[in-house]
Every structure is written in C-alpha cells, then in structure tokens.
A and B are shown apart, each in its own frame.
Chain A
Amino acid sequence: MTQQSDGSFRIIGRSLTRSDAEDKVRGKAQYLDDLTMPGVWYADVVRAPVPCGKLLGLHFDESFDWTQVVTVKPEDIPGENIVDMTGLDMPFLAYDRIQYQGEPLALIAAPSKALAREAVNHVRAEVEELPAIQSIQEMVERHKTGLADSLRLLEKKEIRRGDAEGVLAGAGKVLEGEYWTGFQEQLYIEPQGMAAEPMESGGVYIRGSIQCPYYVAPELMKVLNLPLEKIRVEQTVTGGAFGGKEEFPTLPGGYCALLALKAGRPVKMVYDRHEDILFTTKRHPSWTRYRTALAEDGRIAAMEVDMILDGGAYTTISPVVLYRGILHAALGYRCENVTVRGFVYASNSFPCGAFRGFGAPQAYWGLESHVEDLAEQAGLGPDEFRLKNCLQEGDITPTGQHLLTSVGTPAVLKEALRRSDFHAKLARCDQGRPGAKSWYGIGVSFFAHGAGFTGDGEAKFGSRAAMELGRLSDGRPGLTLYASSTEMGQGAKTVLAQMAAEGAGLPFDRVFYPLPDTRVVPDSGPTVASRTTMVVGNILYHAGHKMKCLLEEAAAKHCFGGASVRLEGGRFFAEGVEARPFEEVAEVLLAQGEPLRTEHQFALPPHIRWDQERFVGDAYPAYSWACNVAEVEVDPLTLQIHLRKITAVYDVGRIINPTLAIGQLQGGLVQTIGYALMETMQVRKGLYDANRLQTYIIPTALDVPEMDLQFLEYSCDELAPGAKGLGEITMNGLAPAIGNAVRRATGCRLCAIPMRPEDLYATLYQGAKD
C-alpha cells in the first residue's frame, strides 16, 4: 500500500484561508461587468429563428437608422468564417445552413444595450425551415434501427480488450440495461461575459470570465486573421464556470473582438441569465447500453458497452468528452473481455460542451446502475459484488493500463461501506413494502476519474509555469507566479500558491498568484480535466524548488559571504551565523537588480504509453477513486424522494488544503443532487424549455442532506507533491448511488435521470414511462 501521510510539509495540507476570500466577501472583486471601460459599446447577436434550415437572406429594416450602430455580417469577417475548435464545422456566423435555433447570423454593437437590442429586432432572417433532430431518444432510435446514416456523426471511437463479443455470444445469460441522462446547465453565478478592445499596436485585447486564456487566441486566429501574438487574452475575476467557461467564451470573445475591431472602440457583452441558459453549452445528454456476461463464480466474464452522446449542432469539444466517457464506461471492475463503442451524433440544439465530469458522470450512471443488476444476478449483495470485482493495485483497465501506484481501492469502498454501516442497513430496505409510512433505501456506487489530459496529452502539451522575485501589492518582497491556470471559485489561486510556497521554502503570504494574462504568462494549459492541482501544482512546486536553490545561491553570494545557505520556512540559515529572514535578504537581492526567475516544464512519468489511434495504453497518468453511499426515504403517499444522507469516501491523492477540498466535494455532490433528482430541460420548438431560474430547478440548502465526507490520501508520488484530480470526480457517482437507493426503497429501477416522483409514478403505477 502506498498510503502515507507526510508530516514534513509546512504549507501543504493546511486549511489556509483562500487568498481571494476577503475581496469577494467585501464585494471588492472586480468582475467583468464591474470594470469601467471608457467609450464601451454593447454587443448583441442576431439569432437564427429556426432550429434547422436554409438561410435565404438577412433583411435590415430601412426604417432603422443603422448609422447609430456597428454591424458585422459574414462578409465583414476579416478572416475565415470559422471557429477553430476540435472540428472545423462551426461557422462564426451562419450564412447558408442553420443548425440550431439561436445560431448567430450577424453581430451588432451600440452605445447602449437597449439600442443594440432594438437594432437586432430590426433584422429579419428569411429562412426555409428543414426537419430537425431535437432529442437523444430520436437519435438512439435511428442508431438502433440502422438509420444512423441519416444522422450527422461527429465522432466515434472504440476500446477493445479481449473478445467481449465472442464471450457474450457463447454465454448462457447476458444481462442488458439501457440508461439515459439529459442536459444539465452549469449555472455558474456570474453569467458569461467578455469584452474586447483594439490595441494601439494593432491586434485586439480580449478580457472576460474564462477558464482557459490560451484557448481563445488560437480559436480566433482564423476568424480575426491575426497572428497569435496580436491577440492578448486576460482573465477577469470569474464567478464560477464548471466547464461552462472552457470553450464557450471563444464565441462571445469573438463577437466582441470582431465588433471592437470594426467599431474602433471597446465592446462588451454580458449575458443575462435567460440568454445565458438559452444560448450557452450544456452537459451532453447520453444513452448507454450495457451487455454483460457473468462467470459461474460471480466474476465479470465480458462486458460490451455502447454509448451515444448528443453533441448538439457542431463538433466543438464533443470528441474529447466522448473519449473520457468511453474510457470511464467500463472502468471500475476486473474484466478480461471489454468492448466499448462510443458515438457522438449532431442534433439541432446549441452545441453541448464541457461540464464538470466531462462524459464520466454519464458513463457511471450507466455502469453503476447496471452493476446493481449484476450483483443480484450473481446472488451477491451490491457491496459484496463490488468488493469482489473492483479494480485494485496491480489490476488492468480496459485500455490495458496496469494500476501500479496510488491506487486507493478497495480502501475507499471498504471505508464508505463501514462508515455508512451499509450491510446492516441493506437488510432494512423497504422494497416498496405495502403499508409502510416511508420507504427506506440505501445505495452504493464505486467509481474513478482519470486526472489530467487523456493518454500522453500532458506529455505532448508540455505545460509550463514560472515565478519571479519582486514586490507584491503590499510593497514587500515576494514571488509572483506566472501560469495560465485560472481561479474560478474552486481555489486554484490558493492551492497553487501553497504548492509554490512549499517548494520555495517561503511563507504562504509571500507568494501571489495573479489573474493570467497571455501577454506575460507561459501556457500551463487549460483549467480543465481535474489537472490543475496535479499538473500545474507539480510544475509550480518544482519551479518553487528551483527558486529556493536560486535564492540560496544569490543569498550566499550577496549576504552570507559565500557560505553555504539553506532557505527554510522563510528564513535563511548558514553555519555559525544568525538566521536572517527572507524579506531582509530579498531586499538586498532586489537591490542587485538581477532578475530572479525560474521556470519549469511538466514531464509525465516516463513509463506512460498511449496509442491514441487504438485507444490502448495508459489512459491517464493517475486516477482518483471514490465510493458514494446514498440513503433515501421515498414517501409512499406522494412518491417524493428525500435524500437523507450521503457518505462519501475519496482518494484524490494528497490533500493540499483540507477546507477547500471538502468545499469542492460538497459543491460537486450538491450539483449532482440536482442532476440526479431535479434538473431537467428539453428542446421544445428549438429552444430549451426550462430557460429561467424559475423553471430550471437546482437544489437549495434545504435539499442538502447530512454528509459524512472522508478523504483517504493515496499520494501520487510520481507527481510531487502528490495530488490527483478532485474537481470532477465529485460529480461522477452520486446519481447512481441515489438510483440504487431508490430501487431498494421502492423496488423500482429508474433508468433515466433526473429521477422525479412523476417517473416513479409512471414506472410503478402506469406501467411504462411516457
């Protein structure tokens, strides 16, 4: 076992107050809409009136005075009319085919929001409407009945180990299950907002509420016809993102940039909530089908999985979501014969995008619901079956990866089962017992999350970060960190500074993590994929260590007469003389005028191998592991589902800041309560039906049950200081744990989330779901 708790850290492992707390609590933090931009104009968008069709013409009403505003039509685009994401199928402004309702057709900037909106209302799109695909149900129906050719396939990919088809063909009994998930809105508190202004040197300066500063420029290069260095991107204080500000901000960033360059003045666009729900990305709706054969002894002989994601209108980042989805769809249990096939088809709704979990919550809704049926078939309890079959150190994943280091299973499973007293409570489940005043049920789920980019993505990317000795905002000496990773509420600003300070041997308050600006920071990668603490933390920890060596050398030379010096806990120690505090020495070093700067580039452990073509090898550098136990009470009178308790045990590697880690876990679990029990939206007449906070129902404080949360630290020693991913795995497994609890409470398996009393009623009393 690799579990360890290293007492040698001074700053890592402490619940230091987050460094952005005071500004946010006092209302001093400057979000995009708080910034004053002299002469700013407001952007608005002329949107397609139908979900699918042919654009015949755009008519600008002659009664309107168009000289008051600036417009950008497709023919005004200086470069190529294309958004340069994973696919190259999305135009910036639709000009021929319309693929979703609300697709941008033209852009308008005006001195006031009201005037911009008025101008938009004076543009009429002439269209010929065509039949649209508007639900995953329709997609799956066509896929199953051999009509897949009638759909636009955005991506497909397969994982194969052994011969699942062969074993299933020869198996006596094959267990089958189909599982569905719907859209989910990220619902960050601060809505989307971007601003752009022309730079005197040519080019454009783009600011806004974003996760990934280095995504924006390359994705806009083509459309703006500007070289990378002429597109400067800076993050403004960001009030929540959850994936929603990963790739999406490129669109409003581009609208503002195009308008600003044409208008020759700053242009900004801040969405209101209604617009933000209607015209931004959602989590991909999914369908998974599992076909599994068990061996006599209760082991899994073969598993075949099909997964379909609804990608929305264009490719954007859907292939990457699909990869993560299929990589997790059979990840959890020992099995020599596995096939996972994944497909993303296009529909006529807003392109789906990144959302915390990125395909894995969809996968685990299927897998962990299905495993419940497997346990029953094997004649084992859901706990026993999982303990018997779960992956452990030394086991091999579906892509052939040997799990060798930092494997917190079966520890997480055992601990969660023990803490929740699962086995004893299982016997008390009501199974829809007639006459009961309340139906009690308990359910478990076991799951993982690969931390960092898939495969050798991190190795290819080569993230870099740097730090420099200078003066902090209090005028005193300290280190400023340079990386493109973003604070969006999750605490990155704090934990990255903790790791850098630890590496450098300095106090936490002498290290500052500013808002990234692509003009000055190296590319440490996007703030996604549960990679920031593990990967960027590792880089800054090492850069910090290099800084410590540099400071020791410089101090030795300039302050200690060449004696050998050690920097520790913010003090310089040398043989035979009194220790001197960092700040005193740093003043001397700063006076020398030599820049003291260190940089580090990320390196994966050398044994990581990945074949992207065949999807074979080490899919992730490290995995986090977790087990969720949910306890519910279903009211037999009304079928309302009351979540009473969550027990969650997580191995996410070394914990850098316990309070922030618990906060991430609580937040992710609450977001999953909504996903599992409440949040639902459908595309009706081209648009999401739940389009306001009044109709898109997320949990309130009263919907949050008792939580018993525990971390087990299986430090990832290959990537010091040993953190793995935490942000996303918080959303992977609670929905199936609740589903399994609801099943034990009512005797009824719901195959789709959210699970609402209406669905229980339909399944229990109406026979079928409408």
Chain B
Amino acid sequence: MKTLEEIFCRQPETLNEALTLLSDEATRGVLLSGGTDLVVQWQAGAVPMPEQVIDLSAVPELKEISAQDGCLRIGACVTHAAIRNHALTREALPALVAACASIGARQIQSRGTLGGNVANASPAGDASPALLVADARVVTASLAGERCIPMNEFLLDYRKIDRHPDELILRFELTPCPQGGIERFCKIGTRGAQAISKVMGACRVVMHGKDIQHMALALGSVAATAIRLPETEKLLAGKTLCEELVDEAEACVLREVHPIADIRSTAEYRRWVSGRIVRGFLESL
C-alpha cells in the first residue's frame, strides 16, 4: 500500500518546463492541480496512487483570467473562488460564476480548479453545463503545439476526455454572454453545501421582448457527460415564449435525456426534474 508521501512530485515553474516533463514518458506524471478530486480518489482506492505527479500550481500561464479578441480566457488552474470573484467572469459568465459558487463549499472552491473539474470528466462536474452554453473551447498544449477543441467534443464519454498523454489543458476560451443576454444555473444537490449534483443545468438566452432569439441549454448528471439539449433548443429558438411553449419544452427535455439511477437519485426523478429545471429557466425569463 502506497502512501501520499511516497509519490514523487515535480513542480514546474514555467509552461515549457511542464510540457517538457510531459513529453518524456520517463518524467510524465499524473497532472495535479488543486488535488480535490485526485487525492480523494487515491485515498478511496478508486484510482491507484501514481508513481509520480506533475503539480501545475506554480505555472503562471495556467492561472490567468483575461479578455482577448472578444472572448474570455480562463487558465486551467484558475480556482473556482477566482472565477467567483473576478470582475470579468462576473460580468460575462454569470452561469459559470453561479456554478463555481455551488461547488463543495468555500474551502474546496479555494483549491479546486476549472481545469481539474473538466479533466476529471465526471458527469456531475458542476462547471460543464455552464461551459457548454458559453460555447467553450478547450485549448490544450504540448511541445508539438496547441489544439483548440469545442467543449462538447472534448468530453468524450464517462470519465474520458480528448487529451493526448503529452498534453495538458492550457485554458478555456468562452464567448461572453451578449449584451442583454440572460444566464441561469440550477443545481439539485443532496443538501445545502458539499453536495454532488443529482442534476444540474445552465442556460444562456437572448430575448427580444417575449421572442426567443438565442437559446442554449445544457444539463449534467443525466448522461455519461454533460450535454447540450439540441432538440429543445431547436424547439424554442425563434419562438414567442408562452405557457404552451414551456409545456412543450418540458416534454421535449424528457425525450432528450436518459439518466440512470445511482446512490444519489433515481432515474425517474432525474428525468422528471430535468424537464422541471428547463421549465424553471423559461418561467424566470
């Protein structure tokens, strides 16, 4: 049985150093950001403790939030607390801010990072739906260069992401919520804090009066990865919001999701409440 102390840990201070370590199989280690997923998984025996890790927390490029070319860049090692507090994210990504503020509680938000949340690739990762409705792109990097992958393609399957062994997630690029746009986030947890989601959802909407100009909807914990709801979005986009439309949208969601039962909830409730979350979003507009 291995202990935490026996893991060999390198802490690169530049991006290049990190990528160099990753490029060589001999120095390649498990990437460690805040450790709030990894350490728990090691201790629980869900994942074997690795021989070596690369601690990314000292690489400055990974910790930046900036606005460039009309998009918002969030480094992979930016903490949920930083996203919660930063003026740029608060202004442009209210659903993501709300999602990050719902993760664990203050302690976890201060250590856990956006990159860790996405790379952990749990369907219950709270940040993913908000990233999906912001049309996020994931930028990965290796010594060979950068790749830019749309978020919905990056999430391959249950606990699988499109990352090559010599790559790390560099940053996320997000489209800000447009002027007059509305974002919502909703989390159904098991308790008031420190709750893994039973179901959570996010939406981004642009309205003109009662007319829906743009509608992006995403849910988590209802499939192997967080998902957009293309059918429901199609149903709503370009329509005038009314009671019948809300009923139709709720019914459409039920056709689009096929959740499973696990220790946190039942398949039936998850499916039903998915529709209710979307109803709640629409009724709040």
Contacts and interface: CB of A to CB of B under 8 A. Distances in A.
Interface stretch (A339-347, A562-570, A760-768): A760-768
Interface in A686-713: 689-690, 692, 694-695, 697-703
Interface in B248-285: 263-266, 268-269, 272-273, 276-277, 279-280
Contacts of A114: 1
B125 to A, nearest CB: 14
Interface string A273-304: 01000000000000000000000000000000
Nearest to B1: A114
Given A274-B44, A637-B279, A640-B188, A700 B193 contact: yes
A706 to B, nearest CB: 14
Contacts of B194: 700
A638 B273 contact: yes
Interface string A471-501: 0000000000000000000000000000000
Nearest to B196: A694
A758 B269 contact: yes
Contact of A765 (B44, B264, B272): B272
A770 interface: yes
A118 interface: yes
Given A757-B273, A762-B268, A766-B268, 10 more contacts: A118-B1, A638-B277, A638-B280, A692-B44, A694-B196, A697-B190, A699-B191, A700-B192, A761-B269, A762-B266
Interface in A599-648: 637-640
A117 interface: yes
B126 to A, nearest CB: 15
B242 interface: no
Given A694-B40, A694-B196, A770-B266, A678 B191 contact: yes
Nearest first, the 9 closest Cβ-Cβ pairs linking A and B are: A702-B192, A758-B269, A114-B1, A703-B192, A700-B193, A702-B193, A697-B190, A758-B266, A761-B269
B235 interface: no
A638 B188 contact: yes
A568 to B, nearest CB: 51
Interface in A241-289: 274
A700 B188 contact: no
Contacts of B195: 697
17 contacts: A114-B1, A117-B1, A637-B276, A637-B279, A640-B188, A697-B190, A698-B191, A699-B192, A700-B194, A701-B193, A758-B265, A758-B268, A761-B273, A762-B268, A762-B269, A770-B266, A770-B268
A703 B191 contact: yes
Interface of B: 1, 40, 44, 105, 188, 190-196, 263-266, 268-269, 272-273, 276-277, 279-280
Contacts of B44: 274, 692, 694
B280 to A, nearest CB: 5
A763 to B, nearest CB: 12
B244 to A, nearest CB: 16
A266 B126 CA distance: 48
A88 B109 CA distance: 52
A678 B191 CA distance: 8
B224 to A, nearest CB: 20
A273 to B, nearest CB: 10
Interface of A: 113-114, 117-118, 274, 637-640, 678, 689-690, 692, 694-695, 697-703, 757-758, 761-762, 765-766, 770
A114 B1 CA distance: 6
A762 B271 CA distance: 12
Contacts of A274: 44
A713 B196 CA distance: 43
A242 B148 CA distance: 54
A689 B193 contact: no
Contact of B190 (A118, A678, A762, A770): A678
Nearest to B265: A758
A681 B264 CA distance: 11
Contacts of B192: 699-703
Contacts of A117: 1
Contacts of A757: 188, 269, 273
Nearest to A274: B44
Contacts of A695: 263-264
A458 B193 CA distance: 44
A97 to B, nearest CB: 30
A687 to B, nearest CB: 13
Nearest to A699: B191
Nearest to A272: B43
Contacts, number: 64
Contacts of B276: 637-638
Contacts of A699: 191-192
B263 A700 contact: no
B40 to A, nearest CB: 7
Nearest to B279: A637
B58 to A, nearest CB: 29
Contacts of A770: 266, 268
Nearest to B44: A692
A637 B269 contact: no
A770 B40 CA distance: 32
Nearest to B105: A700
Contacts of A113: 1
A37 B271 CA distance: 55
Contacts of B266: 758, 761-762, 770
Nearest to A681: B263
Contacts of B190: 678, 697
A64 to B, nearest CB: 15
B130 to A, nearest CB: 19
Contacts of A697: 190-191, 195
A308 to B, nearest CB: 26
Nearest to A684: B263
A640 B198 CA distance: 12
Contacts of B265: 758
A118 B264 CA distance: 33
Contacts of A638: 188, 273, 276-277, 280
A637 B280 contact: yes
A770 B265 CA distance: 12
A692 B279 CA distance: 34
A678 B193 CA distance: 13
A113 B273 CA distance: 46
A637 B276 CA distance: 6
A117 B194 CA distance: 31
B151 to A, nearest CB: 26
Contacts of A702: 191-193
A766 B105 CA distance: 34
Contacts of A700: 105, 191-194
Interface centre among A117, A118, A698, A761 (most CB of B within 10 A): A761
Contacts of A765: 272
A761 B272 contact: yes
B191, B193, B273, B280, most chain A CB atoms within 10 A: B191
A279 B218 CA distance: 41
A761 B193 contact: no
Nearest to A757: B269
Pick the most buried of B1, B188, B269, B273: most chain A CB atoms within 10 A of its CB: B269
Contacts of A639: 273
B257 to A, nearest CB: 15
Contacts of A689: 263
A118 B190 CA distance: 36
Given A689-B263, A699-B191, A761 B268 contact: yes
A86 B268 CA distance: 44
A757 B270 CA distance: 10
B232 to A, nearest CB: 17
Contacts of A703: 191-193
A690 B268 CA distance: 20
A694 B104 CA distance: 11
Nearest to B40: A694
Contact of B263 (A640, A678, A690): A690
A291 to B, nearest CB: 31
A716 B277 CA distance: 54
Contacts of A118: 1
